[in-house]
A and B are shown apart, each in its own frame.
Chain A
Amino acid sequence: MSIKAYESDTRPDWCPGCGDFGVLAAVKDALATLNIPPHNVVISSGIGCSSNFPGFIRTYGFHGLHGRPIPVAIGMKDANPNLTVLVTAGDGDEYGIGFNHMIHAARRNDDIKVIVMNNEIYGLTTGQLSPTSRLKQVTKTSPSGSIIYPLNPLAALIGDGATFVARGFSGQPKHLSMLIQEAIKHRGFALVDVLSPCVTWYDIYDEVRKLMYKLEDKGHNPADFYAAMKAAKDEERLPLGIFYRDETKPSFQEMLKEQIGDGRWASKSVTPLNSETLRELEYEFS
């Protein structure tokens, strides 16, 4: 599939140099490489700079409320599991207001792929603390330096039972595309945390480049839970790559298929009941 197939008519309104451009390029590359036609993809997003994502790529999309792209995505996947369902949103959406949904989507192993453009700041609201902002970070809402500890989303999700947890960097779109491809191929829930710096409010490009290293270069085994947790807790440096992957757990949708039967998806079954079934249901209570 050519990347052109995913070309939108709308130019992103992100600041020049914004990390999200790299993420957009990586998502397109991943979908094209995996040969997924645009009409079989739905992207669910929330509110914030990064959540404008669906308008900038030609697939189906749902640009919804702040913090709620995950439940919308689950509803879509449950109703039509033939769709490739992605969530693209920022750290405010996914690690703040909507983190509850992330924890439970991971626990259910819902077959959705969550790509978080993590810039450690609230950008569109002009630079306030986010859940991943660091201790002592100076922002509009922490003029004397933050006194709130940051969330470690990778450790939290690995601990929660997520079956695929990875981190990429928007400055490395090829590597990021590989991570997204692996996430899409994964059986169930996947989190791809992407360090996607905000050039306007919190430019950490140089810092990321200085501290990053790739887990695959260090012989990391993503099947090893404790090694994954250790890597996730490496807060001195910035490991990139697949931290944890468990292909043994069936996804919610696989188990759902077993219970209700293949092909009986809610989107395919908008059909009436016949009078015999209706009568049977009515007389269950008699």
Chain B
Amino acid sequence: MQEVKDITIRLGAAAGDGIQSAGEILAKLLSRSGTYISTFNGNQSAIRGGHVWFHVHAGTHPVYSMGYGVDYLLPFTQLAYDEHYSSVNKGGTIIYDPSAVTARDLGADISQIKSPFLATALKYDKYPIMKNTVAVAEVAALIGLGFDVVEETITSQFAKKPEIAKKNVEAAKEGYGFGVQAGVRKALKYSDKRLPFLHANYTFSIGAVAAGCRFYAAYPMSPASPIVHWMTAHAKKLGITVFLGEDEISVMNATIGAAHAGARAMCATSGGGFALMQEAVGEAAMTETPVVVVNVMRTGPSTGLPTKTSQGDLNMMLGISQDDFPRAIFAPRNAPDAYDIAVRSFDIAERYQIPVMVLLDFQIADGGYMTIDHDFKPVDINRGKLLNSDGTDKELHNGTWFRRYQLTPDNISPRSLPGTPDMMYVAKTDEHDEWGHDLSDVLAGLKESVLMREKMQEKRMKKMEQLKAEMKAPELVGQTKADLTIVSWGSSANPVREAMEVMNSSGLKINALEFSDIYPLNTQAVVPLLKSAERLMIVEANYTSQFGGLLRKETGIDIKDALLKYNGEPIYPVEVERMVRNIMVKEVESHVH
């Protein structure tokens, strides 16, 4: 037995084989044994057939990404074997059922264990699905977990079906026995501490409700759908109103309507749905209605690759809808981050009365769970300039209308809610004056209206200056002085962190700047950080280095070395390391010449 700091396990099968729930059981086993996990779901847009895989990275310390290679591979199909055997690390193990998979000669560095998953499963049930249980239990033994945690996890997984639970436990016992026979291989140090694990769609949902959001609108779209599933599942308990729109246009407009009526309101979709929402994002900004909109990114323009990951929608967020208007853009790095950013998003939306856009992506939101090792903190809600009193203030009332769009020193106007006596106003998506009168029709082009249009546009845009100052600087991770600083944003921070830890322990001096507050960029804080770096490199999942482009535009700093991945697969730590070593070697060579 070898005690290690982290291990990686990968399961591969066809869609419909139950690999995701098998993977989740594995994740639970590890989370209930005091270890940190990070998972990835390599799924397809298919209900049956094809090839799907589930990857678990577990460690005795926080893990953020996929780790390095595969220590344990469980291929349930030949395709799964063929696709993944080359990722297995030296000293790794492949556990397979010879009735489904023919193994290759992989040399002595990789052990291959034959186990009769299917035959064992069929002893307990007429369907083959329990082969997953047999296999997972075998892996549990190989990584040195006790059978008690296996039994407890399976029993709780099928809590509502005790008969099925019993059969699974019996099958698991046999599988566990195969593992015991083979002997414990790489193992972690375990404890009985139980840690929760979630993906960013869930933590963002929890954060939203924690911040007072009780209105959610959606049209199902991968990989944003887990949010609507979470919201509907908790609607009754938490009192959440869910609007299931006929399209994303109605979704965004209903969100605006709910916010106008006083709810903290949110909607989510992926890029294609966001394209349909775009006119209404401008409407939210123009009417100064606070909303939170989430875009869980997937790969490709148009319908692209629905179940694959990308960070390709930043430019869309920056340029969405016509003309200039204030907006905030956030990109949480991972599941724990998403809770905090959800909380801040609702406050910022309401204090500045602007649309807040949040970018998640498949990798952290639908495709990957991560351990949360702290309790979520309750929220102090700040609703900004929301007035609850009636309109007795003469300055705020002209006898008919409430001065909803009052020009104020901080450019943020008082807001009233429908239902409040004597505070009536009409929210206007056409250009308007302080009282909500249209400037678009019979007043258009008149001197006074021209001046008012200027003032209104300035008022809205100047909100960004104040907001900019409260946007957070990127987090500096690692040592303060380094030979290379890797810039990342959103989810690309995770593989960078893992690669950095490995590289630094091998003697390199690398640190990282992780951005999650994207726009408006707090240039005052960002520029000195970038300038003080010895050398910069950027990592992101798109073709043109969209975030690099934003940094260049806002700071004048051009990061030339970029790891850009756009094939839909997650960024692996090893790819970051390869790029870094490539740069550093070149650096050394250029000093020599």
Which residues does chain B contribute within 8 Å of A267, judged by CB atoms? 258, 261-263, 417, 419
Min distance, Cβ A55 to any Cβ of chain B, angstroms: 5
Which residues does chain A contribute within 8 Å of B28, judged by CB atoms? 286
Q: Tell me if A269 counts as interface (CB < 8 A to partner B).
A: yes
Q: Which of B256, B378, B424 contacts A60 (CB 8 A)?
A: B424
A54 to B287, CA, bound (A): 14
A58, A64, A256, A279, most chain B CB atoms within 10 A = A64
A13 and B257: CB pair below 8 A? no
Q: Tell me if B131 counts as interface (CB < 8 A to partner A).
A: no
Min distance, Cβ B533 to any Cβ of chain A, angstroms: 36
Min distance, Cβ B502 to any Cβ of chain A, angstroms: 28
A264 and B256: CB pair below 8 A? no
Min distance, Cβ B343 to any Cβ of chain A, angstroms: 9
Q: Tell me if A113 counts as interface (CB < 8 A to partner B).
A: no
Q: Tell me if A82 counts as interface (CB < 8 A to partner B).
A: yes
A9 and B239: CB pair below 8 A? no
Size class of the contact patch on chain A: 35 or more
Q: Which of B235, B240, B261 contacts A75 (CB 8 A)?
A: B261
**CB 8 Å contact bits of B424-439 with A (1 = contact, 0 = none):** 1111111000001110
| Selected interface stretch from A158-166, A225-233, A270-278 | A270-278
A256 to B255, CA, bound (A): 17
Min distance, Cβ A108 to any Cβ of chain B, angstroms: 9
Q: Tell me if B557 counts as interface (CB < 8 A to partner A).
A: no
A278 and B287: CB pair below 8 A? no
A62 and B260: CB pair below 8 A? yes
A44 to B418, CA, bound (A): 12
B212 and A78: CB pair below 8 A? no
B236, B400, B429, B436, most chain A CB atoms within 10 A = B429
Which residues does chain A contribute within 8 Å of B424, judged by CB atoms? 38-39, 58-61
How many A-B pairs have beta carbons closer than 8 Å: the answer is: 241
Residue of B nearest to A60 (CB): B418
| Selected interface stretch from B202-210, B307-315, B482-490 | B202-210
**CB 8 Å contact bits of A28-42 with B (1 = contact, 0 = none):** 000000000111101
Q: Which of B206, B212, B241 contacts A282 (CB 8 A)?
A: B206
Known: A54-B426, A266-B214, A283-B196. A83 touches B418 (CB 8 A): yes
Which parts of A89-119 form the interface with B (CB within 8 Å)?
A: 100-101, 103-104
Q: Tell me if B32 counts as interface (CB < 8 A to partner A).
A: yes
- Count the B residues whose beta carbon is within 8 Å of the partner chain — how many? 82
Which residues does chain B contribute within 8 Å of A284, judged by CB atoms? 196
B419 and A40: CB pair below 8 A? yes
B421 and A62: CB pair below 8 A? no
Q: Which of B236, B243, B380 contacts A78 (CB 8 A)?
A: B243
B398 and A79: CB pair below 8 A? no
Known: A282-B198, A286-B32. A39 touches B419 (CB 8 A): yes
Which residues does chain B contribute within 8 Å of A71, judged by CB atoms? 245, 249-254, 257
A82, A268, A272, most chain B CB atoms within 10 A = A272
B280 and A60: CB pair below 8 A? no
Q: Tell me if A72 counts as interface (CB < 8 A to partner B).
A: yes
Q: Tell me if B361 counts as interface (CB < 8 A to partner A).
A: no
A58 to B214, CA, bound (A): 29
CB<8 Å pairs between A and B, sample of 11: A62-B287, A72-B254, A260-B236, A261-B239, A267-B261, A268-B262, A271-B212, A272-B380, A273-B209, A279-B376, A285-B196
List B residues at the A interface (Cβ < 8 Å): 28, 31-32, 194-198, 202, 206, 209-212, 214-215, 217, 234-236, 238-241, 243, 245-247, 249-265, 279-280, 283, 287, 369, 372, 375-381, 383, 398-401, 417-430, 436-438, 441-442
5 more A-B residue pairs beyond the given contacts A10-B437, A76-B261, A80-B419, with a C-beta to C-beta distance below 8 A? A74-B250, A75-B265, A268-B262, A272-B380, A285-B202
